[in-house]
Structure 1
Amino acid sequence: MDYWNALYSNDSAPWVIGGPQPEIVALELAGGISGTVLDIGCGTGENTIHLVALGYDVHGIDISPQAIDEARRNAVAHRISPDRFTVADALGLGGPAYDTIVDSAVFHTFDPEHRLAYIRSLHAGCKPGGTVHILAFGPHVGESDIRRAFTGDWDIEEIRPARYRGRITESIAARAREKGWPEDGLIDVTAWLARIRRL
């Protein structure tokens, strides 16, 4: 938790881009969001706020209290209730269960052992027949990692190449230089977008 809090407190979290992820925006436009929604690992709340503004019943959770504090401030600035955000562990989902779960860059943060615990937690947090959308950072996981993780009571309906938008910050500046990325600003990197049905 200290690691995540530090990234938010010194404004070096590269996934905080000042708005929702473009892939999540496109996902909603394509009809991929329905019913009650959980934004897991919501960070500073941009995806949640975007979906709430469109009329969805969304709750955002994150393990970082610093992130949730910022998400609540962002919510107030957008005239949305800050109560939509809660500090919670992605490995401890239970009731209530949701119709749609959005995972924007959470799955790939877990090693294989904790990934299994995460999948069990998603199963507990998703209604039967509900949908989990995974936007996973391509350089960290492959399509096969997603397929291996979601077995048993899951139906993988689609996995497709996608893009994940990040921000060049101090925390990734060295890597950005190695890869020839811009020294600052936004950059889109390879990702996977999976649509998975809970059976």
Structure 2
Amino acid sequence: MGIFSPGGDMKSHVITLAAGVSVGFVLAKLLAGVPMFFKLTYRSKKNQSGTNTTNLQTARAPPGDYKLVIGARQDLQMGKGKIAAQCCHAAVACFEDAQESNENILEEWMDQGQRKIVVKVESEEQLEQLYEHAKTVGLITCVIEDAGKTQIAAGSKTVVGVGPGPASEIDKVMGHLKLY
């Protein structure tokens, strides 16, 4: 019996056809790597004339790999959830900085899937060195200080974020660190 057999109910044939088309559409999108139901977007800040405001005007970033690397301190003995929260703070802070200072790199990073990597930092001293090195090279960077409401003392520097930016440049600062 075929899908449109003479003895079948027309309503069930239409439902079967619609389901087949839907499944085919979803599979085609998944196999093509195209987001289906949502796309992450961000809003840039606009000045009164309606144009984007940035601290740094640059040409469109060249194609290549972009990423954000977050270094989490190991000496603080933070729990997994605490480290996750601190890494999220760094990702948001770096995103906001990129949104204000270099939308072209932010757009490239967003288009490439927002790659984020977490690495181990051994001490506050190493964290500060990484931050200073990233600033010197001109990369987006931030240090997160804890509020002290749960596991560690207020003002403790917990993580450093570097990027988003060109992977080759970020690797010069963070590439020697071990994955978390």
TM range (shorter): under 0.3
**Higher RCO (C-alpha under 8 Å, 6+ residues apart):** 2
Larger C-alpha radius of gyration, 1 or 2? 2
Which TM-score applies when normalising by structure 2? 0.27
